[in-house]
Amino acid sequence: MERIGDAEYRVMEVLWDEAPLTAAEVADRVPADRGWSIRTVKTMLSRLLAKGVLAHEEEGRRYLYRPAIAREDYVAQESGRLLDRMFGGRLTPLVAHLAERDRLSDADIAEIEALLKALKS
């Protein structure tokens, strides 16, 4: 599967939240913090189409865009990539690492414990 850049990912998120949308609608919903022009959004959409991660159907002279890959699949691929690259593919060192770095609160720990308990049964 193709890789997706940071900016492109913003666009994907919009469409994973709500689809199908026109280019203008996507532009409206993209987080404003980057101050993108509509043209930039359209470029993103074209590239994502070319990469095969978006699909489009024609509606009059416009396109309606929708994701062609599931968010879960993409997220799985990217987390797997990080895990492979940094932790030899093993999750435990990641958890240990984040715990050390204070990215884990007590509430997180409780939550993960509950999750693991559910997984075992």
Partner DNA sequence: GGCGGCTGATTACAACTGTAGTCAGACACG
Partner DNA sequence: CGTGTCTGACTACAGTTGTAATCAGCCGCC
Residues that bind its own copies (CB under 8 A): 6, 9, 72, 75-76, 78-80, 82-83, 85-87, 90-92, 94-99, 101, 103-104, 106, 108-109, 111-113, 115-116, 119-120
Nearest to 89 by CA among 103, 79, 97: 79
> Under a CB-based contact definition with an 8 Å cutoff, are residues 36 and 27 in contact?
yes
23 in Cβ contact with 39 (< 8 Å): no
Of 52, 50, 55, 67, the C-alpha closest to 11 is 67
Residue 62 partner contact from its own copies, DNA, none using kind-dependent CB cut-offs of 5 to 8 Å = DNA
Residue 4: burial class (beta carbons within 10 Å; 0-12, 13-18, 19+): buried
Q: Select from its own copies, DNA, none the partner in contact with residue 60, using the beta carbon and a kind-dependent cut-off of 5 to 8 Å.
A: DNA
Binding site for DNA (CB under 7 A): 2-8, 22-24, 34-40, 42-44, 46-47, 49, 60-63
CB of 8 to its own copies, least distance (A): 12
Q: Smallest Cα–Cα separation from 42: which of 11, 74, 19, 70?
A: 11
Residue 1 contacts which entry, DNA, its own copies, none (Cβ below 5-8 A, type-dependent)? none
Q: Which is nearer to its own copies, 61 or 117 (CB)?
A: 117
